Structure formats: C-alpha cells, structure tokens
Amino acid sequence: MIDSELVKRMRALLGTERVLASPEELLVYECDGLTLYRNQPELVVLPETTEEVASIVRLLKDRGVPFVPRGAGTSLSGGTFSEPGVVQISLARMRRILRVDLRNRRAVVQAGVVNLHLSQAVEQQGYHYAPDPSSQGACTIGGNVAENSGGPHTLKYGVTVNHVLGLKVVLPSGEVVELGGPQEDPPGYDLVGLITGSEGTLGIVTEATVRLTRNPQAWKTYLAVFESVEDATRCVSGIISRGIIPAALEMMDHLVIQAVEAAFRFGFPLDAGAVLIVELDGPAEGLPEEGERVEAVFREHGAREVRTARDARERAKLWASRKKAFGAVGRLSPSYVTQDGVVPRSRLPEIMARAEEVGRRHGIRIANVFHAGDGNIHPLLLYDERDPEQVERVLAASDELLEACIELGGALTGEHGVGIEKKSHLGRLFSEDDLQVMLDVHDVFNPDSRCNPGKIFPSARSCVEVRRPRAAAPA
C-alpha cells in the first residue's frame, strides 16, 4: 500500500524532487488527452534510468502496489488513467538519445524522448524518425511504442511497430529484459511486436532501438478542395485504386476547416465541404508524372480547386495546420471527444454518411479530420462537459460510431488504443476464446494486473473497479 514509508523509500531512491506526493503536484497527472476520465494518482515518481525504473517496480512489487507508466500524457483513450491506489511512473525525464548510428540507420533512445526531438537530432544529416503522430511535438517514443502510434505519413511509411527493432523492458516482476536487437528479424518469438501496442500492460519500456528514415529527395504537397465529404472520400479510393501510395492522404471536413482557418489563417476555403491533403514523395524525377496522375483523379472526383505548396515553408505551414487541427477544434466547443475507428478504405463514404446520421440523431455536432488513406477515421464529437445530459449523448453517439465501424468490416481503434475508453467494445470484435488467449499472454507478464491495471480487457481484470467518468469536472 501507499503510505509514508513507501514515499520515504522512493525519496531515498530518487531524491525529494523526483517524488511527487502533494495534491497540487499531482493535479496534472489526473488525466491525459481523454479528459472525460479523471482521477489523481497517489504518488508520481520520475526515474531517469532503466535501473531506477527496475528498483521502483521491485519496491512496488514487494508492497503489492499497482502502477501506471506515463509518457507525455497525450493518450486519447485514457491509457495513463490511474485507479485509486496507483503510483504513476513518469518516463518524462528519460529523454536522452543514447546512440545514433546513421550508417545502419538506427538510434537508441530512452523512452521519454519526445518523438519530434529525435527527428530534429538527425535532420541536418538528412534523416528523420518516420512515425509522426499529430502530437509529435509532445508525445514520447515510449508512449508511441505502447500505443503503436501512427500519423499522417504512416500511410506510406508504416506505424510504430515497423520502426522499432529492439526494446529494453522492465517487467512487472522487476526483471529487466532486452527484446529484439539492432538487427532485422532476430530469431525466437517476436516479443518486440507483442510489447508494441500492448498499451503498457505487459511492462514498462525504458529504451528503444528504432529505425531512422532517409528524408525523401523531393515532395509534392497538394490541397484539393471538394464540395462534399462524399466526393473527397470517393477520391481517396480513386487514388489508392490507381496503385498510387501517397506519403500522406488526409481529410478535413467543413467544421474542421472553419476551426483550423480561424486558428492559423492558412487560407483554407471556408465554403468547402472537405479538403484532402495529399503528399507525394520520392526521387525528384518521378514526381511530376505521379503528380499528374493524382491531379487527374482529383478532377475526376469533382475537385473544384487544387493547390500545391509552393515551397518548404508553405508545406510546413500546411502540415502544422493539419497537425494542430485537434487543438483548433477547441474553438468550436467547450469540449470534444476524439474518436478513433477504422474501416476498409472502400467503405469511407458509408462511414461518413453514418457519422452524419448518428450526429444528427443525437444532436451532437461531429467534425472530421483523419488519415483517409488508411481508412482511419477521427470523428470529433463536440459537446459541453458541464452538461451531464450532453455527456450521455456523446457517449451513446461514440458507441454507435464504433459499432458502425465494426459492422463495415473495420475495427474500433486505428491508433489511439483501447485504454479504458473502449474496453467494453473489445468483446464485439473478438470471441471469448480469442480474448482468452490475449489474457493468458497478459498473465505471463503481468499475473496480478498491477502493471497498468484496468486497461484494454473488458473483463474485470483490474485491481479495483474503474469508476464512471466524472462528467461534471471542467477541463
């Protein structure tokens, strides 16, 4: 249990500054990007090395205390939510880039390194770290590993698991293991793949060996303007079915355009039904021809206007607008929930029509900004969290949207994870036998569920009951 003795021991291990126990210090740890669910942890510790993490975990094991690992707290599924009686282990101070090996295109980083900082560290040499979540200026690589994060450019370059070669992991037992390695496809079981996307329920990743990607020689970035979401989503299918895999293929609808334009004044057309941001990259010589093919598909699907970024500055500004769209939507409404679902790309027009219908029926405005090329939708459900009745409607509409994704042959999360938010839905996607295999694997690593309790699985595999969201708490 958490008592003054445990606090004393943690302070002996880490010093006073890196052990937070007062309510004021703990306040920012009460939730993550999923603000619907809030609860303060009882203690937050800030290790700086793998050995410190292992010592902390062993100390907690001896006393039977559950714990939650935390990166930057940008999770949108409540991945860092702390049940009562939980210690949060923040990896935010483990932000050292330990090694860069450009010759073999690898870097070894501590888990708390901010995603964008790694790309910045190798930018001058012409490399970057490919997975680029919208939150990349804040989110950590350890958090990306936990959630198997994607981003606009993962359409072409793949999600986090495609860029992780090795992991150092502190198991809930306190043991430290090294999984995978610097080489490709090592022998034995692919435990790196298993840990990646396991949402911190199998152990705490403290270091990662990741691939570095050469910057493309050239790029061509389009903004195509459509009268309707339907035209835009049909255009997405049209591009992909031509055999063109853009580096990124993003959609923003009318509501998002309004918000983003108000925030960033990029020059988005305020009367458009939807825009697509399409980026091609590769060797400079091939781009004009590939560009012509894409432009032809734009025209075929009724694009009323097609612009291209004139230079690197304009391109950067366009991407910044897209990546900060979630933040900009805050202008439209006091609160919103970012949903995350997947459908086969060919069903995008259908799911968009369903989203509109669901929103209308529940009286909830829904804004859309998403990775269209992956079929990974992100409806933003706008509401006022001070109104419990609206919260109920948002939760009902969310449920229906996810249900619709599953019906259309998709899944209930593309990249944000299950966390606490979608636990109850997992049973709709997997049979009991399928889930039991996952739980059996869970129990190998985390037999008493002390490591990130209450996440992912619908059955009550948590130490304590998770409470319903405190809908009334202001953001």
- By CB under 8 A, what part of segment 413-432 binds a copy of itself? 413-415, 417-418, 422, 426, 429-431
Which listed residue (162, 261, 320, 387) binds a copy of itself by CB under 8 A?
162
Q: Give the residue among 44, 52, 95 at the shortest CA–CA distance from 70.
A: 44
Q: Which of residues 42-71 bind a copy of itself (CB under 8 A)?
A: none
Per-residue binding string, a copy of itself, 208-247, x by CB under 8 A, is ------xx-x-------------------x---x-x----
Element (H, E) at 168: strand 164-170
Indicate if the alpha-carbon torsion angle 251, 129, 29, 466 is positive or negative.
Answer: positive
Residues in contact with a copy of itself, counted by CB under 8 A, come to a total of 81
Q: Which is nearer to a copy of itself, 198 or 390 (CB)?
A: 198
Per-residue binding string, a copy of itself, 255-294, x by CB under 8 A, is ---------------------------xxxxxxxxx----
Which listed residue (73, 375, 454, 469) binds a copy of itself by CB under 8 A?
375
User: Taking the complex as a whole, how short is the minimal distance between the CB of residue 110 and a copy of itself, in angstroms?
Assistant: 20
Q: Report how far apart the first and last C-alpha atoms of the chain are (Å, whole number).
A: 30
Question: If DSSP codes are grouped into helix, strand and coil, which group holds residue 218?
Answer: strand
Q: Which of residues 111-130 bind a copy of itself (CB under 8 A)?
A: 126
Give dist(CA 165, CA 91) in Å, integer.
Answer: 20
Q: Are 432 and 47 in contact (CB under 8 A)?
A: no
User: Taking the complex as a whole, how short is the minimal distance between the CB of residue 244 and a copy of itself, in angstroms?
Assistant: 8
Q: Residue type for 318, please? A: L
Q: Which is nearer to a copy of itself, 284 or 316 (CB)?
A: 284
Q: Which of residues 441-470 bind a copy of itself (CB under 8 A)?
A: 441-445, 456
User: Taking the complex as a whole, how short is the minimal distance between the CB of residue 138 and a copy of itself, in angstroms?
Assistant: 22
Other beta carbons within 10 angstroms of residue 118's beta carbon come to: 22
Q: Residue type for 255, please? A: L
Q: Which is nearer to a copy of itself, 71 or 203 (CB)?
A: 203
Q: Own/partner pairs for 258-262, CB < 8 Å, 24+ apart?
A: 258/332, 259/325, 259/328, 259/329, 259/330, 259/331, 259/332, 259/367, 260/321, 260/322, 260/324, 260/325, 260/328, 262/328, 262/331
Q: Which is nearer to a copy of itself, 27 or 430 (CB)?
A: 430
